[in-house]
Amino acid sequence: MQRAGWMGSMLCLAALSVTAHAASDARRETFGALPDGTHVDAVVLSNAHGASARVIALGASLQSLSVPDRDGKAANIVLGYASLDGYLQKPQYFGATVGRYANRIAKGHFVLDGHPYDVPANDGPNSLHGGTRGFDKVLWTIGAVKHDADSASVSLTYVSPDGDMGYPGKLTVTATYTLDDSNRLSIDYRASTDRTTIVNLSNHAYWNLSGEGSGSVMEQRLTIPADAYLPVDATSIPTGEFGKVEGTVFDFRQAKPIGRDIRDGHEVQLLNGRGYDHNWIISRSAAAAPRMVARVEDPASGRVLTLKSAQPGLQFYSGNFLDGTTVGTGGHVYRQGDAFVLEPQLYPDTPNQPAFGSARLEPGHEYRNLIIYEFSTEPAHAAR
């Protein structure tokens, strides 16, 4: 009886140990301080399968994300800075929440309900990602930090006042990051307003599935299930056309290396963007629920990223302006083509192009963009 009791106790302790190890975790830490001394905190989310994500309050940004490769070795697969100084001195939207309007608005101007609005032009003649002080450059408030056996999460909030960067209405925004036990990271963006406005939120993570700082992503294989894309002018504003991908360098309906066609000098669109920096038409309106909008496979590491969202558009950017002047989290220099960006969103310049739908948000309604990043691996022989 005594031995049975001892064995039972040992088994219970072992079970508790396994449970404790298996549970997800969320912990808050200090990442740095702003010039005025304000602390910028971070929250680290982790699970029992070797995945972890660090989210910083500046820009509600994904600063790092480590997931295992086919051999179980974890590596950080998003570009970023090791300290706060980089985000302050040379902001490049690394992992940031972008808004109030993600992507571009032509000439920084739009009309809403007959009233003209001007927002800052910070990308040539156009406004990009909300203007000179978009949501990527403000300090968000960290709210609920939670974890249980299956997932860990953090919610961040920012209140953009009426007239912020020229946009109408007080916009209250939340971004909830959740890392679950299936190596799935989700970002749930929600927004409400007290006055009719426009809104388009997304995340601007730069991905390299072989690991940040490991070199080019041109051999990583991309699938985008879209029959059409939006051609752009020399300033990267959509022309209003809906271009078919069939027979063009923009056809990613079947997986192909990102770099296969990127040097085609006969394609004016690639010259306009110095590579890919275009919006693919996943659908002509938002879907009822998230569905696959992109898939990327890395033959070298075996990592696979499946991206899901209900948004109608997907901006794919091939890291064209990484110029070798940035030292990232791992101490390596980032050069052109060392990462790719996939942003589920409304079409760029929608407020000025009625054929693209509407970016309108009214009081009493909620804007939502749920972005889901699913990570898996495939064996070496599966790489094509």
Q: Which of 129, 147, 204, 278 is catalytic?
A: 204
Question: What is the amino acid identity at position 154?
Answer: V
The residues that bridge with 30 in the sheet, in sequence order, are 41
Q: Which of 147, 278, 297, 343 is catalytic?
A: 343
End-to-end CA distance of the chain: 60
Q: For residue 126, what are the CA distances in angstroms to 119, 233, 236, 307, 353? A: 9, 12, 9, 28, 15
Active site annotation includes 241: no
Active site annotation includes 204: yes
- Rounded CA gap, 246 and 355, in Å? 22
Three-state secondary-structure class, residue 13? helix
Cα dihedral value 305, 311, 317, 318, nearest 10: 20
Q: Phi, psi (5° rounding) for residue 374?
A: -105, 130
Q: Phi, psi (5° rounding) for residue 86?
A: -60, -40
Q: Which residues contact 78 (CB under 8 A, 6 or more apart)?
A: 62, 63, 64, 65, 94, 95, 205, 206, 207, 208, 212
Give catalytic residues, as residue numbers: 204, 343
